[in-house]
């Protein structure tokens, strides 16, 4: 994946730019493969090869490819290629992050349905799904900020999951109770909405100023949901 992606990026830019993409993508790919290897039960390796889990793993690979564009912002590509003006890289590069992340989002809707239809829902699949959801919510907004497509404030969504986990872990460490996360009818739809919004935001279809304004509005419900969940599990708010 890293070698093939490097060839595509090099063909559209330069070997130096492609090397930067490969380095970042390679690091994230190591995480994807390492996470899979760590959570696979040695006695049940077939679970990793189940079609739903293969689809989820491909999502992780696509998010790794998206992460590589952190090292290839449009301004640097334009500068390397000697293009007049900032933010005028080749069309293939301008669309690449949105296509990689968007494909991963599409597969997110496919792997769960496939698992249910084939009756291959597994604990491994659940772990992979949560881990790669979190990975996507981290790398795609970072690329969006680096490319000027999203405001820095939108990174609050990327940090929210980590802040939530850190806060609940801190409470447990201090011996304070942490309840179970209640079921929610809005949590999953909001996550899907954010995924779709990020995919669209990464495209060059809309002016950055319009996307920035929309991002500040779109992020509010998800942040409010994280806050509500924390208040519920800590007993400060009824489920």
Sign of CA dihedral 161, 167, 172, 173: positive
Distance CA 62, CA 56 (A): 10
Section 146-167 average pLDDT? 94
Model-level pTM?
0.88
Residue 41 CA to residue 44 CA, distance in Å, equals 5
DSSP secondary structure letters along 76-131:
HHHHHHT-SSSS---HHHHHHHHHHHHHHHHHHHHHHHHHHHTT---HHHHHHHHH
With H, G, I as helix, E, B as strand and everything else as coil, classify residue 221: helix
Token pair 């179970």 in the structure block, residue: 180
Question: Is residue 219 over pLDDT 80?
Answer: yes
Q: What is the pLDDT of residues 104-133, one digit of tens each?
A: 999 988 766 776 676 666 778 888 888 999
Comparing C-alpha atoms, which of 192, 190, 98 is closest to residue 149? Answer: 98
Residue 34 has pLDDT above 80, yes or no: yes
Query: Quick one: what percent of the chain has pLDDT higher than 70?
Result: 86
Q: What integer is the mean pLDDT of 208-230? A: 94
Helical packing angle, 91-117 and 51-67, nearest 10°:
160
C-beta neighbour count of 137 within 10 angstroms: 23
């Amino acid at each position: 994946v890293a070698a093939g992606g490097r060839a595509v990026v090099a063909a559209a830019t330069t070997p130096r730019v492609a090397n930067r993409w490969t380095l970042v993508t390679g690091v994230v790919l190591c995480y994807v493969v390492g996470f899979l290897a760590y959570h696979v039960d040695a006695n049940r390796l077939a679970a990793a090869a189940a079609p739903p889990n293969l689809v989820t793993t491909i999502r992780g690979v696509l998010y790794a490819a998206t992460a590589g564009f952190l090292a290839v912002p449009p301004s640097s590509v334009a500068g390397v290629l000697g293009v007049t003006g900032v933010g005028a890289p080749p069309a293939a590069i301008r669309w690449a992050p949105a296509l990689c992340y968007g494909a991963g989002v599409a597969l997110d809707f496919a792997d769960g349905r496939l698992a249910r239809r084939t009756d291959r829902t597994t604990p491994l699949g659940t772990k992979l799904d949560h881990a790669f959801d979190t990975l996507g919510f981290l790398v795609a907004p970072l690329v969006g900020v680096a490319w000027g497509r999203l405001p820095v404030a939108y990174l609050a969504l990327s940090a929210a999951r980590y802040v939530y986990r850190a806060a609940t872990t801190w409470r447990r460490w201090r011996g304070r109770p942490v309840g179970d996360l209640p079921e929610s009818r809005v949590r999953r739809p909001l996550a899907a909405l954010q995924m779709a919004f990020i995919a669209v935001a990464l495209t060059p279809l809309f002016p950055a100023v319009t996307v920035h304004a929309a991002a500040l509005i779109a992020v509010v419900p998800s942040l409010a949901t994280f806050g509500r969940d924390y208040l519920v599990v800590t007993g400060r708010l009824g489920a």
